[in-house]
């Protein structure tokens, strides 16, 4: 494959739920605003965004949505930082739950795949 040729692919095996989509877009726009892949976001922000009551069940709900977003995505002939991989599995982010915040690290590979390879791109919409 010529490095100039990027073939758009249907990368999501299942559509993302509306709530997970809302969460992903909010995280993505936070990244764009601060231009930092590493973010620490207060639970209150997620509670307001998703219209949740502040409780441990809501935190579990947020974690379930992050797990939905982290369903591995398979990209064929993935080129990133000058290196091509025949088949690459990538996830949306890594995260750690703290007492009052969630630390999120967006995957630069995912962002690249989303913008360059995805037919079913959803973050920028």
Domains and CATH numbers, the chain: 18-116 (1.10.10)
Q: Give pLDDT, residue 1.
A: 44
15 phi/psi in degrees, rounded to 5: -65, 150
Residue burial 84-107, b: 16+ Cβ < 10 Å; e: rest: eeeebebbbbebeeeeebbebebb
> Residues 74-95: pLDDT tens digits?
899 999 998 999 999 999 999 9
> Residues 20-33: pLDDT tens digits?
999 999 999 999 88
User: pTM for the complete prediction?
Assistant: 0.85
Residues in the chain predicted with pLDDT less than 70, given as ranges, are 1-14, 120-122, 124-125
């Amino acid at each position: 494959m010529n490095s100039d040729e990027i073939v758009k692919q249907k990368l999501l095996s299942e559509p993302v739920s509306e709530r997970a989509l809302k969460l992903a877009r909010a995280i993505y726009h936070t990244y764009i605003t601060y231009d930092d892949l590493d973010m620490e976001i207060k639970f209150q922000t997620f509670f307001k965004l998703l219209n949740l009551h502040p409780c441990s069940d809501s935190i579990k709900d947020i974690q379930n949505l992050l797990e939905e977003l982290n369903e591995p995505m398979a990209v064929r002939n993935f080129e990133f930082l000058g290196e091509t991989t025949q088949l690459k599995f990538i996830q949306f982010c890594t995260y750690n739950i703290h007492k009052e915040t969630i630390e999120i690290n967006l995957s630069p590979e995912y962002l690249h795949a989303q913008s360059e390879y995805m037919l079913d791109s959803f973050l920028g919409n």
